[in-house]
Structure 1
């Protein structure tokens, strides 16, 4: 059985996104644009960490 609940227009608090969470989510979204970071192709953790650093450098250089 489906029950319909009417929305109350007298909201006590408005939605406020957390600033730091937004920054982290956008950073991960930018990293997903890099093909090598979409999947874990690297065998070593050091190689994977270096690919993340290279992607960050590439993104920052594109902003200049």
Structure 2
């Protein structure tokens, strides 16, 4: 498998802020983890190797992305 060219940006909350503050694009990570937990398998922690966990995450995301493609269209076209 090839390596992915990813950039990780760590967003730190300012020390002088108090209470809840919405961080930029924090919803993206929350949404992705919610999608993963919908498949329930990653929450169980059965995998002992990181490769097994990666495979479960990939499979969960493949099913998430492919589900709309498998749905019949409502426009009446067959």
TM-score category, normalised to shorter length: 0.5 to 0.7
RMSD: 1.9
- 4+ aligned runs moved over 2 Å, structure 1: 16-19
CA gap of 1:22–1:37, structure 2 versus 1, over 3 A, is: same
Which structure 1 residue ranges, 5 or more long, are not aligned? 1-15
Which structure 2 residue ranges, 5 or more long, are not aligned? 1-20, 70-78
Partners of 1:58 and 1:19 in 2: CA distance: 28
How many residue pairs match? The answer is: 50
Q: How does 1:38-57 map to 2 (within 5 A)?
A: 38-57=43-62
1:6-55 per-position Cα deviation (integer Å, ceiling 9, x unaligned) = xxxxxxxxxx8445211110110111111211121111110111100110
TM-score by length of 1: 0.65
Q: Which has the higher helix share?
A: 1
TM-score by length of 2: 0.54
Partners of 2:48 and 2:25 in 1: CA distance: 31
Alignment-derived partner of residue 59 in structure 1: 64
Mark the structure with the bigger radius of gyration: 1
